[in-house]
Amino acid sequence: MKKSITPFVKLLEKTNHETRNHLKTLLPQNTDRKISAAMNYAVLNGGKGLRTFLTIESASLCGAPKSQALQAAAAIECIHAYSLVHDDLPAMDNDDLRRGNPTVHKKWDEATAILVGDGLQSLAFEILTNDSTHPKDQIKLDLINSLARASGVNGMVGGQALDIEAENSKTLLNFADIIELQELKTGALIRWAAEVGPRLTGQNMHPFTQYAKSVGLAFQIQDDILDIIGNTKSAGKTLRKDSKAGKATFVSLLGLEGAKKKARKLIVHACAALDVFGAKANRLHDLANFVINRNF
């Protein structure tokens, strides 16, 4: 199935290009070194840029300067790229393909992939400490602290650990377990991205948190749907892994139609959470709809 180029996809690609150009200035420049080349590859070689778009739109909705938004977007993308590189390792998901290209440990080697993830994680926090992220230390500290929490043991890492435990257990997860796992594994970073605007400007975080919770779950439901009905070429990664492994997913628990219905309901909730912003939130509505209509 071909990627359909809607006006929203064009905007997403434009924003992705802009963020990646900013990231190019922050990533190691000495790409004749293996580790630097591999870090650049992990971040810049594809990716939809959903988390960076969310960061930039959240900041824009709150009236934060673009330069600050780009710094936060660069930080979240480094954490996201690190998680994918480590997730693809043989000790975790053991994948050869990511974003339609060889995974970092396949293109180089496992030691390089581990170091790329480590290097990107450190870089994310280094980026946030920069004065261009925000003039006030208190705000930079809050961004650093909240990103550390979202990506750590009470966020993404904790969710990944639950996922691995579940794979090695004979008991299948139930619906509440899967929600808990996914809110940590993928939801926590999505939520951080959505909360960047209020964190930079001191505005009410609640609408953004509510929006992100629903979008994060809908994102994961669509991922589970694509694992069943998607096409490896457009997805750019190995599919049907969860079903082959007999893992409990939103689709195995709700059925395909039930999962689609749940995702649509979540998107209605997500958009309603931003009612207070009126038409100014249209781009975040479009993002929410894209999340459940994407085929990649």
Amino acid at 100: G
Which tokens hold the place of 289?
């709809």
Q: Could you tell me if residue 215 is left (phi over 0), alpha (psi between -120 and 50 degrees) or otherwise beta?
A: alpha
Task: Rule CB under 6 A: say whether 86 interacts with ligand GRG.
Answer: yes
- 97-98 vs 101-102, strand pairing mode: antiparallel
User: Nearest distance from residue 63's CB to ligand GRG, in Å?
Assistant: 26
The DSSP element (H or E) to which 258 belongs, if any, is: helix 250-273
Task: Rule CB under 6 A: say whether 222 interacts with ligand GRG.
Answer: no
- Cα–Cα distance, 141 to 259 (Å, whole number): 39
Looking at the Cβ atoms of 185 and 283, the one nearer to ligand GRG is: 185
- Cα–Cα distance, 166 to 188 (Å, whole number): 19
Which of 15, 19, 68, 83 lies at the binding interface for ligand GRG (CB under 6 A)? 83
Q: Candidates 45-53, 121-129, 263-271, 284-292: pick the segment binding ligand GRG (CB under 6 A).
A: 45-53
- Estimate to the nearest angstrom the gap between the alpha carbon of 199 and the chain centroid: 18
Residue pair 110/92 in contact by the 8 Å Cβ criterion: no
User: Nearest distance from residue 185's CB to ligand GRG, in Å?
Assistant: 5
- Three-state DSSP at 98 gives strand
Between 164 and 203, how does the x/- string for binding to ligand GRG read (CB under 6 A)? ---------------------xx-----------------
User: Nearest distance from residue 280's CB to ligand GRG, in Å?
Assistant: 24
Of 59, 69, 70, 54, the residue nearest 11 (C-alpha): 54
Residue owning tokens 């995702």: 263
User: Nearest distance from residue 241's CB to ligand GRG, in Å?
Assistant: 9
Task: Rule CB under 6 A: say whether 11 interacts with ligand GRG.
Answer: no
Identify the sign of the CA torsion 103, 108, 110, 115.
Answer: negative
- Estimate to the nearest angstrom the gap between the alpha carbon of 3 and the chain centroid: 19
Which of 44, 157, 205, 256 lies at the binding interface for ligand GRG (CB under 6 A)? 157
Which tokens hold the place of 212?
């992100």
Looking at the Cβ atoms of 113 and 139, the one nearer to ligand GRG is: 113
User: Nearest distance from residue 91's CB to ligand GRG, in Å?
Assistant: 10
User: Nearest distance from residue 22's CB to ligand GRG, in Å?
Assistant: 16
Which of 57, 183, 223, 286 lies at the binding interface for ligand GRG (CB under 6 A)? 223
Of 8, 104, 109, the residue nearest 49 (C-alpha): 8
Looking at the Cβ atoms of 241 and 280, the one nearer to ligand GRG is: 241
Task: Rule CB under 6 A: say whether 156 interacts with ligand GRG.
Answer: yes
* Alpha helices (runs of H) in 88-205, residue ranges in sequence order: 104-107, 110-129, 137-151, 156-167, 175-182, 188-201
Task: Rule CB under 6 A: say whether 87 interacts with ligand GRG.
Answer: yes
Which of 26, 38, 42, 50 lies at the binding interface for ligand GRG (CB under 6 A)? 50
Task: Rule CB under 6 A: say whether 247 interacts with ligand GRG.
Answer: no
User: Nearest distance from residue 77's CB to ligand GRG, in Å?
Assistant: 8
Task: Rule CB under 6 A: say whether 105 interacts with ligand GRG.
Answer: no
Which residues in this chain contact ligand GRG in the complex, by CB under 6 A?
47-48, 50, 80, 83-84, 86-87, 92, 99, 156-157, 160, 185-186, 223
